[in-house]
Homo-oligomer: A and B are copies of this chain.
Protein backbone atom coordinates (compact mmCIF):
# COMPACT_ATOMS: atom_id res chain seq x y z
CA UNK A 1 0.00 0.00 0.00
CA UNK A 2 2.77 2.39 0.94
CA UNK A 3 4.52 1.64 -2.33
CA UNK A 4 1.32 2.25 -4.26
CA UNK A 5 0.79 5.63 -2.60
CA UNK A 6 4.43 6.57 -3.10
CA UNK A 7 4.19 5.82 -6.81
CA UNK A 8 1.07 7.94 -7.05
CA UNK A 9 2.73 10.81 -5.22
CA UNK A 10 5.95 10.72 -7.22
CA UNK A 11 4.33 9.86 -10.53
CA UNK A 12 6.83 7.23 -11.48
CA UNK A 13 8.19 3.90 -10.33
CA UNK A 14 11.84 4.95 -10.33
CA UNK A 15 11.31 7.95 -8.11
CA UNK A 16 9.17 5.93 -5.74
CA UNK A 17 11.92 3.32 -5.60
CA UNK A 18 14.43 5.98 -4.58
CA UNK A 19 12.05 7.30 -1.93
CA UNK A 20 11.60 3.81 -0.52
CA UNK A 21 15.29 2.93 -0.81
CA UNK A 22 14.65 -0.10 -2.97
CA UNK A 23 15.22 -0.80 -6.64
CA UNK A 24 12.83 0.12 -9.44
CA UNK A 25 12.35 -3.58 -10.13
CA UNK A 26 11.16 -4.16 -6.59
CA UNK A 27 8.57 -1.41 -6.95
CA UNK A 28 7.49 -2.95 -10.24
CA UNK A 29 7.08 -6.30 -8.54
CA UNK A 30 5.15 -4.87 -5.61
CA UNK A 31 2.70 -3.03 -7.83
CA UNK A 32 2.36 -6.06 -10.10
CA UNK A 33 1.64 -8.20 -7.04
CA UNK A 34 -0.95 -5.76 -5.75
CA UNK A 35 -2.58 -5.58 -9.15
CA UNK A 36 -2.63 -9.35 -9.31
CA UNK A 37 -4.17 -9.68 -5.86
CA UNK A 38 -6.84 -7.11 -6.67
CA UNK A 39 -7.25 -8.44 -10.21
CA UNK A 40 -7.32 -4.89 -11.59
CA UNK A 41 -4.83 -2.63 -13.30
CA UNK A 42 -3.95 0.31 -11.05
CA UNK A 43 -1.59 2.23 -13.34
CA UNK A 44 -1.24 2.85 -17.03
CA UNK A 45 2.47 2.74 -17.75
CA UNK A 46 3.60 5.49 -20.06
CA UNK A 47 6.97 6.44 -21.40
CA UNK A 48 7.39 9.09 -18.74
CA UNK A 49 5.87 7.66 -15.65
CA UNK A 50 2.78 5.95 -14.39
CA UNK A 51 -0.73 7.40 -14.34
CA UNK A 52 -3.60 6.08 -12.28
CA UNK A 53 -6.34 4.12 -13.97
CA UNK A 54 -9.92 4.78 -12.93
CA UNK A 55 -9.71 1.79 -10.61
CA UNK A 56 -6.49 3.22 -9.23
CA UNK A 57 -8.16 6.55 -8.58
CA UNK A 58 -10.97 4.85 -6.71
CA UNK A 59 -8.50 2.76 -4.76
CA UNK A 60 -6.21 5.62 -3.80
CA UNK A 61 -8.19 7.25 -0.99
CA UNK A 62 -8.68 3.87 0.63
CA UNK A 63 -4.95 3.23 0.45
CA UNK A 64 -4.18 6.57 2.05
CA UNK A 65 -6.76 5.90 4.73
CA UNK A 66 -5.17 2.53 5.43
CA UNK A 67 -1.78 4.14 5.98
CA UNK A 68 -3.31 6.73 8.28
CA UNK A 69 -5.05 4.06 10.32
CA UNK A 70 -1.86 2.01 10.51
CA UNK A 71 0.00 5.05 11.76
CA UNK A 72 -2.62 5.71 14.41
CA UNK A 73 -2.51 2.07 15.43
CA UNK A 74 1.22 2.28 16.04
CA UNK A 75 0.83 5.62 17.81
CA UNK A 76 -1.72 4.09 20.16
CA UNK A 77 0.97 2.04 21.86
CA UNK A 78 3.92 4.32 21.30
CA UNK A 79 5.45 5.41 24.58
CA UNK A 80 5.82 9.13 24.76
CA UNK A 81 3.14 11.14 23.03
CA UNK A 82 0.49 8.50 22.68
CA UNK A 83 -3.26 9.19 22.65
CA UNK A 84 -5.05 9.94 25.91
CA UNK A 85 -5.94 6.59 27.41
CA UNK A 86 -9.01 6.48 29.61
CA UNK A 87 -10.53 3.58 31.50
CA UNK A 88 -14.30 3.33 31.79
CA UNK A 89 -16.26 0.95 33.93
CA UNK A 90 -18.34 -0.47 31.08
CA UNK A 91 -19.05 0.34 27.49
CA UNK A 92 -22.64 1.25 28.28
CA UNK A 93 -21.94 3.27 31.37
CA UNK A 94 -22.47 7.00 31.70
CA UNK A 95 -18.69 7.40 31.62
CA UNK A 96 -18.67 6.14 28.07
CA UNK A 97 -21.28 8.74 27.25
CA UNK A 98 -19.13 11.43 28.80
CA UNK A 99 -16.17 10.31 26.71
CA UNK A 100 -18.28 10.37 23.57
CA UNK A 101 -19.30 13.91 24.40
CA UNK A 102 -15.69 14.85 25.04
CA UNK A 103 -14.67 13.38 21.72
CA UNK A 104 -17.43 15.29 19.97
CA UNK A 105 -16.30 18.63 21.31
CA UNK A 106 -12.58 17.83 21.07
CA UNK A 107 -12.18 15.61 18.02
CA UNK A 108 -8.59 16.75 17.68
CA UNK A 109 -7.57 14.86 20.81
CA UNK A 110 -6.67 11.27 20.04
CA UNK A 111 -8.41 8.95 22.44
CA UNK A 112 -8.24 5.32 23.47
CA UNK A 113 -10.79 3.80 25.78
CA UNK A 114 -10.07 0.66 27.77
CA UNK A 115 -11.98 -1.29 30.40
CA UNK A 116 -10.07 -2.52 33.42
CA UNK A 117 -11.16 -5.00 36.02
CA UNK A 118 -11.57 -2.90 39.14
CA UNK A 119 -10.46 0.22 40.97
CA UNK A 120 -7.27 -1.33 42.23
CA UNK A 121 -6.16 -2.34 38.76
CA UNK A 122 -7.10 1.10 37.50
CA UNK A 123 -5.16 2.85 40.25
CA UNK A 124 -2.12 0.67 39.61
CA UNK A 125 -2.39 1.40 35.88
CA UNK A 126 -2.63 5.12 36.54
CA UNK A 127 0.41 5.02 38.79
CA UNK A 128 2.41 3.05 36.25
CA UNK A 129 1.39 5.38 33.47
CA UNK A 130 -0.35 2.63 31.51
CA UNK A 131 -3.51 4.72 31.49
CA UNK A 132 -4.03 8.43 31.98
CA UNK A 133 -7.40 8.54 33.68
CA UNK A 134 -10.19 6.33 34.96
CA UNK A 135 -13.87 6.72 35.62
CA UNK A 136 -14.67 4.87 38.84
CA UNK A 137 -16.93 4.97 41.83
CA UNK A 138 -14.09 5.46 44.24
CA UNK A 139 -13.31 3.98 46.47
CA UNK A 140 -14.13 0.53 47.70
CA UNK A 141 -14.68 0.42 51.45
CA UNK A 142 -11.55 0.49 53.53
CA UNK A 143 -9.26 1.32 50.65
CA UNK A 144 -8.46 5.01 50.54
CA UNK A 145 -6.84 6.37 47.39
CA UNK A 146 -3.07 6.75 47.41
CA UNK A 147 -1.81 10.24 47.86
CA UNK A 148 -0.53 10.65 44.30
CA UNK A 149 -3.94 9.91 42.79
CA UNK A 150 -6.31 12.80 42.45
CA UNK A 151 -10.01 12.48 41.87
CA UNK A 152 -13.08 14.58 41.24
CA UNK A 153 -16.78 13.71 41.13
CA UNK A 154 -18.10 14.19 37.64
CA UNK A 155 -21.51 12.61 37.50
CA UNK A 156 -24.14 11.01 39.69
CA UNK A 157 -26.26 8.82 37.45
CA UNK A 158 -29.72 7.83 38.69
CA UNK A 159 -30.60 4.18 38.33
CA UNK A 160 -33.82 3.20 36.63
CA UNK A 161 -35.71 -0.05 36.66
CA UNK A 162 -35.92 -1.85 33.35
CA UNK A 163 -38.77 -4.31 32.89
CA UNK A 164 -40.54 -6.23 30.19
CA UNK A 165 -44.13 -5.38 29.22
CA UNK A 166 -45.61 -8.19 31.35
CA UNK A 167 -43.80 -7.26 34.56
CA UNK A 168 -45.96 -6.39 37.59
CA UNK A 169 -44.47 -2.89 37.75
CA UNK A 170 -44.47 -2.30 33.99
CA UNK A 171 -47.35 0.14 34.20
CA UNK A 172 -45.93 2.26 37.04
CA UNK A 173 -44.79 5.78 36.25
CA UNK A 174 -42.28 5.49 39.05
CA UNK A 175 -41.51 3.09 41.85
CA UNK A 176 -40.07 3.56 45.34
CA UNK A 177 -37.18 1.50 46.57
CA UNK A 178 -39.51 0.01 49.14
CA UNK A 179 -41.78 -1.31 46.39
CA UNK A 180 -38.89 -3.24 44.90
CA UNK A 181 -38.58 -5.51 47.92
CA UNK A 182 -39.73 -8.98 46.96
CA UNK A 183 -39.16 -8.47 43.23
CA UNK A 184 -36.30 -10.31 41.58
CA UNK A 185 -33.71 -8.01 40.15
CA UNK A 186 -31.20 -9.59 37.85
CA UNK A 187 -27.76 -8.13 37.29
CA UNK A 188 -25.65 -10.65 35.37
CA UNK A 189 -22.01 -9.94 34.84
CA UNK A 190 -21.41 -8.25 38.18
CA UNK A 191 -17.98 -9.53 39.12
CA UNK A 192 -17.29 -10.00 42.85
CA UNK A 193 -14.64 -7.63 44.09
CA UNK A 194 -15.50 -4.80 41.75
CA UNK A 195 -17.03 -1.54 42.88
CA UNK A 196 -20.27 -2.49 41.17
CA UNK A 197 -20.52 -5.48 43.42
CA UNK A 198 -19.80 -3.32 46.45
CA UNK A 199 -22.43 -0.84 45.34
CA UNK A 200 -25.18 -3.40 44.93
CA UNK A 201 -24.17 -5.18 48.13
CA UNK A 202 -24.76 -1.92 49.99
CA UNK A 203 -28.03 -1.35 48.19
CA UNK A 204 -29.24 -4.81 49.15
CA UNK A 205 -28.11 -4.42 52.74
CA UNK A 206 -29.80 -1.08 53.21
CA UNK A 207 -33.16 -1.70 51.57
CA UNK A 208 -33.58 -5.46 51.62
CA UNK A 209 -33.73 -5.94 47.86
CA UNK A 210 -33.29 -9.23 46.06
CA UNK A 211 -30.51 -8.88 43.53
CA UNK A 212 -29.30 -11.91 41.62
CA UNK A 213 -25.87 -11.51 40.15
CA UNK A 214 -25.62 -15.11 39.06
CA UNK A 215 -24.71 -16.28 35.63
CA UNK A 216 -22.17 -15.10 33.16
CA UNK A 217 -22.69 -11.97 31.13
CA UNK A 218 -23.81 -12.95 27.66
CA UNK A 219 -23.90 -9.35 26.55
CA UNK A 220 -26.51 -6.67 26.75
CA UNK A 221 -28.54 -8.15 23.90
CA UNK A 222 -29.12 -11.36 25.79
CA UNK A 223 -29.90 -9.44 28.98
CA UNK A 224 -32.50 -7.25 27.31
CA UNK A 225 -33.94 -10.26 25.56
CA UNK A 226 -34.46 -12.09 28.84
CA UNK A 227 -35.86 -9.04 30.62
CA UNK A 228 -38.34 -8.43 27.83
CA UNK A 229 -39.59 -12.01 27.90
CA UNK A 230 -39.57 -12.77 31.64
CA UNK A 231 -42.40 -11.15 33.65
CA UNK A 232 -40.75 -11.95 36.99
CA UNK A 233 -37.42 -10.29 36.21
CA UNK A 234 -36.26 -6.70 36.15
CA UNK A 235 -32.86 -5.07 36.10
CA UNK A 236 -31.21 -1.77 36.91
CA UNK A 237 -29.88 0.47 34.22
CA UNK A 238 -28.30 3.89 34.26
CA UNK A 239 -30.59 6.69 33.25
CA UNK A 240 -28.16 7.80 30.55
CA UNK A 241 -27.56 4.39 29.08
CA UNK A 242 -28.72 4.41 25.51
CA UNK A 243 -30.26 1.14 24.61
CA UNK A 244 -29.24 -0.16 21.23
CA UNK A 245 -32.50 -2.02 21.31
CA UNK A 246 -35.05 -0.36 19.06
CA UNK A 247 -37.86 1.16 21.08
CA UNK A 248 -39.97 -1.88 20.27
CA UNK A 249 -40.02 -5.12 22.21
CA UNK A 250 -41.99 -3.41 24.94
CA UNK A 251 -39.17 -2.64 27.38
CA UNK A 252 -40.06 -0.07 30.06
CA UNK A 253 -37.75 2.29 31.95
CA UNK A 254 -39.18 3.24 35.30
CA UNK A 255 -37.64 5.92 37.56
CA UNK A 256 -36.88 4.83 41.13
CA UNK A 257 -37.61 7.22 44.00
CA UNK A 258 -37.52 7.52 47.79
CA UNK A 259 -34.60 7.60 47.52
CA UNK A 260 -33.25 7.47 43.98
CA UNK A 261 -30.16 5.29 43.91
CA UNK A 262 -27.46 7.11 42.04
CA UNK A 263 -24.23 5.69 40.81
CA UNK A 264 -21.43 8.13 41.49
CA UNK A 265 -18.78 8.48 38.80
CA UNK A 266 -15.45 10.06 39.63
CA UNK A 267 -12.48 10.77 37.43
CA UNK A 268 -9.13 9.55 38.74
CA UNK A 269 -5.73 10.60 37.46
CA UNK A 270 -2.16 10.85 38.55
CA UNK A 271 -1.09 14.08 40.21
CA UNK A 272 1.99 14.37 37.98
CA UNK A 273 0.57 13.17 34.64
CA UNK A 274 1.65 15.76 32.07
CA UNK A 275 -0.54 14.59 29.17
CA UNK A 276 -2.03 17.72 27.60
CA UNK A 277 -5.25 15.90 26.75
CA UNK A 278 -5.79 15.17 30.43
CA UNK A 279 -6.03 18.84 31.33
CA UNK A 280 -8.46 19.34 28.46
CA UNK A 281 -10.56 16.43 29.63
CA UNK A 282 -10.71 17.73 33.17
CA UNK A 283 -11.66 21.20 31.96
CA UNK A 284 -14.34 19.73 29.72
CA UNK A 285 -15.81 17.66 32.52
CA UNK A 286 -15.75 20.61 34.90
CA UNK A 287 -17.56 22.72 32.32
CA UNK A 288 -20.23 20.16 31.48
CA UNK A 289 -20.70 18.80 34.99
CA UNK A 290 -24.34 18.21 35.76
CA UNK A 291 -24.86 18.54 39.48
CA UNK A 292 -28.13 16.75 40.08
CA UNK A 293 -26.78 15.54 43.37
CA UNK A 294 -30.03 16.72 44.82
CA UNK A 295 -31.71 15.55 47.95
CA UNK A 296 -33.67 12.34 47.79
CA UNK A 297 -30.82 10.33 46.30
CA UNK A 298 -28.87 7.48 47.78
CA UNK A 299 -25.30 6.34 47.35
CA UNK A 300 -23.14 4.04 49.46
CA UNK A 301 -21.59 5.68 52.47
CA UNK A 302 -18.09 4.94 51.28
CA UNK A 303 -18.15 7.04 48.13
CA UNK A 304 -15.84 9.99 48.41
CA UNK A 305 -17.54 13.26 49.29
CA UNK A 306 -17.82 15.97 46.70
Nearest-neighbour CB distance to chain B for A113, whole angstroms, equals 8
- Copies of this protein in the complex: 2
A295 sits at the interface (CB 8 A)? no
Contact check, B58 vs A85: say whether CB atoms are below 8 A apart: yes
The distance in angstroms between the C-alpha atoms of A65 and B61, with both chains bound, is 15
- Contact residues in B for A112 (Cβ distance below 8 Å): 57-58, 61
The distance in angstroms between the C-alpha atoms of A115 and B61, with both chains bound, is 13
User: Given B57, B58, B73, which contacts A59 in the complex, CB threshold below 8 Å?
Assistant: B73
Size of interface on A: residues with Cβ below 8 Å to B: 32
The distance in angstroms between the C-alpha atoms of A13 and B1, with both chains bound, is 28
A131 sits at the interface (CB 8 A)? yes
The distance in angstroms between the C-alpha atoms of A220 and B116, with both chains bound, is 49
Most buried by B among A39, A65, A66, A73: A73
The distance in angstroms between the C-alpha atoms of A63 and B76, with both chains bound, is 10
* 27 cross-chain CB contacts under 8 A: A1-B73, A38-B74, A39-B77, A39-B79, A54-B85, A54-B114, A54-B131, A55-B77, A55-B130, A57-B115, A58-B76, A58-B83, A58-B85, A58-B112, A59-B73, A59-B77, A61-B112, A62-B69, A62-B72, A62-B73, A62-B76, A63-B73, A65-B73, A66-B66, A66-B69, A66-B70, A66-B73
The 0/1 profile, CB within 8 Å of B marked 1, for residues 41-74 of chain A is: 0000000000000110111011101100110111
Contact check, A77 vs B38: say whether CB atoms are below 8 A apart: yes
The distance in angstroms between the C-alpha atoms of A38 and B70, with both chains bound, is 12
